[in-house]
Amino acid sequence: MPICKSCGRRWTHKQSFKASWKIRGSMRCPHCGSDQYATAKSRQRLTLLNWIILLPLPFAAIFDLPMVYTIGMILVLFVAAMALIPKSLELSNEHKPMW
């Protein structure tokens, strides 16, 4: 779980999941109220998680898989990605470019 760089307190799973939807802007620490930003490394990880969700689509087209299997794989990957998002979020006091 992410740790605030200002106050040093750990965010809960719910707080970090809610804040992860604001990846481009600042996120307010629920404990001290300071602005926190996702690090470039964690933004890259979150982008990778988003692309992994779509991974079954080319395999479904290549191997002619039934749509039910493809949707099932996407749903499983979506749930796994949603569980991993708060764990892969790291915070910083300053906003840095992604690359």
pLDDT at residue 42, rounded to an integer: 87
Q: The whole model's pTM is what?
A: 0.76
Give the residue among 58, 38, 35 at the shortest CA–CA distance from 46: 38
> In this model, does residue 23 exceed pLDDT 60?
no
The count of other CB atoms within 10 Å of the CB of residue 39 is: 19
- Contact, 85 vs 46, CB < 8 A? yes
For residue 58, give both structure tokens.
Answer: 């080319």
- The 3-class secondary structure across 14-71, one letter per residue, is HHHHHHHHHCCCCEECCCCCCEEEECHHHHHHHHHHHHHHCCHHHHHHHHCCCHHHHH
> In this model, does residue 11 exceed pLDDT 60?
yes
Q: Please, what is the average pLDDT of the chain?
A: 87
Above pLDDT 70, what percent of the chain?
Answer: 95
Q: Tens of pLDDT along 31-59?
A: 998 888 888 898 888 889 889 999 999 99
